[in-house]
């Protein structure tokens, strides 16, 4: 009977429905950049969330500097990720969404700062140490078993130390002068020191339409957890009772401008451990889903 659909036709109908829906909705491609000691495998659940709520979306989790390779210096990683991201951006006129986890958030910021023609629409940063890291964690104990946080600057603020990714964003508030003198990645990226590319990097960063900052106080790895919202230490002897200020006060890299335009979104979710941000459905629905259009 011509009016009945056979079982063999149903998969074809589903595929065409997804194709037509994605064409009508015009979902932008999504690029995912992993964090330290991660790779694409850790983001399969997030990719599934995206395709469930935005059928047909092209989702690419970049397989680059995976796992132990993520310890390479960040500028080296930025160069590699930029060349992987560029063709994806060039393949669409409507722009892309970037979802970047942990250390990957700093890499994404470096990519966008040094890619003046980028078309990143939303930059979604999942628990990234955007203002730096200063705290003991399982990551640090694995790579620096002989150091505690108060002594790590002895290694990180050296030429040798800056060849390891973690040291590129180690921000010891007790060693401010050493940090500014030695940091070859975080300090220039956040406009804490003057350099020849300051204006160009700022202009490039400002090409994004929305900056989404996601994190929470129960993260357990990013320390201080306020770092994910680009808040940095201000002077205080008692680190446990530090007060923080946003980098937007100086607008050194464009955060103040984005904030004034209502383009900065903060999403705080309690009870989420660091390794669960990209697989937690509540985080996805409340903090990510609405920006992937």
Q: In the chain, count H helices and then E strands.
A: 12, 8
Which residues are registered as beta bridge partners of 232?
A: 245
| Cα separation values, 35 from 16, 125, 151, 275, Å | 35, 11, 24, 10
Please tell me what DSSP assigns to residue 248: G
Question: Choosing from 121, 128, 182, 219, which is the catalytic residue?
Answer: 219
- To the query of whether residue 102 is one of the catalytic residues in this protein, the response is yes
Question: Choosing from 54, 70, 97, 102, which is the catalytic residue?
Answer: 102
- Measure the CA–CA gap between 227 and 73, rounded to whole angstroms: 20
Backbone angles phi, psi at 279, to 5 degrees: -120, 5
- To the query of whether residue 274 is one of the catalytic residues in this protein, the response is yes
Nearest to 173 by CA among 190, 155, 149: 149
Give yes or no for a contact between 62 and 33, defined as CB atoms under 8 angstroms apart.
Answer: yes
Q: How far apart are the first and last CA of the chain?
A: 40
Question: Choosing from 54, 118, 121, 274, which is the catalytic residue?
Answer: 274
- Measure the CA–CA gap between 45 and 279, rounded to whole angstroms: 6
- To the query of whether residue 204 is one of the catalytic residues in this protein, the response is no
Give the per-residue SS3 of 22-38.
HHHHCCCCEEEECCCCC
Helix axes 74-90, 103-113, angle to 10 degrees: 60
Catalytic residue list: 102, 219, 274
């Amino acid at each position: 009977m011509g009016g009945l659909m056979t079982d063999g036709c149903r998969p074809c109908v589903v595929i065409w429905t997804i194709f037509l829906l994605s064409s009508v909705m015009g979902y932008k491609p999504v690029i995912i950049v992993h964090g330290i000691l991660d790779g694409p495998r850790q983001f399969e659940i997030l990719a599934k969330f995206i395709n469930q709520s935005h059928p047909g979306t092209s989702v690419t989790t970049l397989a680059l500097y995976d796992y132990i390779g993520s310890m390479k210096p960040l500028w080296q990683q930025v160069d590699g990720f930029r060349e992987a991201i560029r063709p994806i951006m060039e393949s669409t006129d409507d722009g892309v969404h970037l979802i970047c986890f942990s250390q990957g958030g700093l890499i994404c910021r470096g990519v966008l700062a040094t890619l003046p023609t980028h078309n990143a629409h939303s930059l979604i940063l999942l628990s990234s140490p955007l203002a730096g890291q200063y705290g003991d964690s399982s990551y640090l104990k694995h790579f620096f078993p002989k150091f505690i946080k108060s002594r790590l600057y002895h290694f990180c603020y050296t030429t040798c130390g800056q060849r390891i990714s973690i040291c590129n964003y180690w921000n010891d508030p007790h060693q401010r002068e050493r940090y500014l003198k030695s940091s070859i990645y975080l300090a220039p990226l956040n406009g804490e020191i003057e350099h020849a590319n300051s204006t160009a990097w700022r202009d490039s960063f400002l090409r994004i339409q929305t900056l989404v900052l996601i994190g929470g106080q129960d993260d357990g790895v990013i320390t201080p957890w306020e770092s994910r919202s680009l808040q940095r230490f201000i002077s205080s002897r008692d680190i446990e009772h530090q007060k923080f200020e946003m980098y937007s006060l100086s607008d050194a890299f464009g955060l103040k401008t984005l904030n004034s335009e209502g383009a900065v979104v903060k999403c705080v979710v309690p009870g989420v451990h660091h390794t669960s941000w990209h697989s937690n459905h509540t985080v996805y629905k409340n903090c990510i889903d609405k920006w992937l259009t």
